[in-house]
């Protein structure tokens, strides 16, 4: 549960480096504590991650051998799987790379639903080489339902929720945590997904937890978060109206019993990320009623309020147009709105903090 030692990483994305399928790589590059030595992707060899992530200057290489002998850089000790595909399966064509990494003495870190540690060939090779395989999505041996735990005195719990999956709930939580710390507040980020765990070094990937124990696991995670800071910012997952991922969202809301929520919305996105039924489309919900729905559902267990909208403006190239879209969302919802990744989270954190402290149910145990 506690943050682990820093690693020296090679991030494997072969053919899938991008903000969607490669969101694990993007998250670790943007927010991670570990030293990233190289990204391994032969389709982009010779380029730099700075083309996609400003401020990130990591070389993309075509072979593992190149990653192991980067000029002027220490030798990596870990190969991290940098993709988060639907279904979380390991591409078969990657197996030779994983075997080569093990033979070179590298640990394997994976957030896939396919547990590499359960693979007979990979686990046998790792045992011979004396290296570890870490499956971040492997759930804890903990089988407890929620007990209605009250938050500690002086603690403030905020959950990020969203109008779709894979639109930045983790990024918003991390940006708010970082802004809180910059403002002098003691704040903790609670990772609830594999990428967040790779970034912060602890947590539980709650989408692998048995449903009866989901709320209880989230309740326990929030308790751990309260040991790390007074402001506890919980990473959200999925969305309440997503055809595939609504269950984990509900478990997070009722397990975390947040004092407040921040809604994450991707401007310009018309329909959910769900392409399994080509003849059907699942539109993004109107914001105001969707906000009210979250508050009603949360209130079935404990009162909570959506206090701000974090807007993902990545579909809008021009900064001026992006700011206009944010202003329209603020006017539509009557809430503070900002893109904390693009324009900074400092002002939004100040508004969120003030709004949370003003809530009538904040100020003691609950």
User: What is the pLDDT averaged over residues 129-146?
Assistant: 93
pLDDT digits (tens, 9 = 90+) for 209-226: 999 999 999 999 999 999
Gap between the Cα atoms of 281 and 193, Å rounded = 26
pLDDT digits (tens, 9 = 90+) for 180-210: 999 999 999 999 999 999 999 999 999 999 9
Q: 89: pLDDT confidence band, cut at 50, 70 and 90? A: confident
Look at 127 and 276; give whichever has higher pLDDT.
127
């Amino acid at each position: 549960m506690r943050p682990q030692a820093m690693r020296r990483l090679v991030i494997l994305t072969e053919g899938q480096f991008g903000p969607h399928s490669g969101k694990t790589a993007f998250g670790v590059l943007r927010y991670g504590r570990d030293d990233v030595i190289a990204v391994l992707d032969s389709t982009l060899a010779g380029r730099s991650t700075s083309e996609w992530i400003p401020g990130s200057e990591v070389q993309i290489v075509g072979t593992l051998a190149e990653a192991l002998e980067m000029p002027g850089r220490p030798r990596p000790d870990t190969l991290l799987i940098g993709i988060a595909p639907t279904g979380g399966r390991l591409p078969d064509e990657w197996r030779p790379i994983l075997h080569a990494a093990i033979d070179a003495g590298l640990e394997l870190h994976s957030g896939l639903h396919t547990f590499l540690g359960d693979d007979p060939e990979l686990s046998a090779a790792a045992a011979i080489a004396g290296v570890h395989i870490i499956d971040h999505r492997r759930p804890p041996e903990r089988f407890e339902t929620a007990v209605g735990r009250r938050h500690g005195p002086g603690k403030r719990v905020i959950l990020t929720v969203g109008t779709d999956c894979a639109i930045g709930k983790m990024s918003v939580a991390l940006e708010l945590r970082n802004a809180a710390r910059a403002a002098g507040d003691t704040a903790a980020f609670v990772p609830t997904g594999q990428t967040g765990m790779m970034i912060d070094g602890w947590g539980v990937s709650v989408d692998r937890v048995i449903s009866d124990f989901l709320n209880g696991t989230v309740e326990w995670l929030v308790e751990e978060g309260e040991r790390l800071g007074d402001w506890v910012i919980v990473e959200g997952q999925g969305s309440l109206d997503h055809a595939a991922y609504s269950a984990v969202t509900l478990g997070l809301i009722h397990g975390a019993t947040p004092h407040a929520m921040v809604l994450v919305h991707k401007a310009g996105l018309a329909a959910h990320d769900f392409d399994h039924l080509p003849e059907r489309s699942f539109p993004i919900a109107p914001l105001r009623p969707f906000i009210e729905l979250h508050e009603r559902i949360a209130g079935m267990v404990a009162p909570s309020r959506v206090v701000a909208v974090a807007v993902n403006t990545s579909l809008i190239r021009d900064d001026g147009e992006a700011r206009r879209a944010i202003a329209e969302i603020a006017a539509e919802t009557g809430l503070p709105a900002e893109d904390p990744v693009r324009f900074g989270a400092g002002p939004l954190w100040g508004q969120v903090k003030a709004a949370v402290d003003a809530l009538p149910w904040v100020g003691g145990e609950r």
